[in-house]
Amino acid sequence: MIARQYRPAFFEGFENEEIEFSTIDELLHIDWIRNFYDGVFLKWTLSDRNETSKWLFAVSVSGGEVQWWCAAIIENITPEIIHYFDNLKDTMDKHPHKT
């Protein structure tokens, strides 16, 4: 699978990274994914993009409001990875890999 870093089009002067990974641990330990663990992080969630890729969102709370931040596009996503994130949908617990 490939994680493609996401930045809105108005960000200029940056190269978005693409990193291959094969496990949840590898994905969640990518530096720019880990940057979303900022103290107000709640959970990760996926959203459909197309048949072979998903948007990865970090859900956080700031000033009492829930915010959704697109962190990456996950290409060639496997059923195991989808299942992992589907199991997080009903919980607001912090991810156990937070360090």
Structure tokens at 52: 């072979």
pLDDT per residue over 62-81, tens digit each?
788 888 888 899 999 988 88
Q: Which of 72, 93, 80, 85 is nearest to 17 (CA)?
A: 72
Q: CA 8, CA 72: separation in Å to the nearest integer? A: 11
Residue 1 in this model has a pLDDT that exceeds 50: yes
Q: Helix count (H) and strand count (E) of the chain?
A: 3, 5
Residue, of 6 and 41, whose pLDDT is higher? 6
Mean pLDDT of the chain, nearest integer? 81
Task: List the domain boundaries for the chain.
Answer: 2-86
pTM: 0.75
Residue, of 52 and 92, whose pLDDT is higher? 52
- The confidence score (pLDDT) of residue 58 equals 86
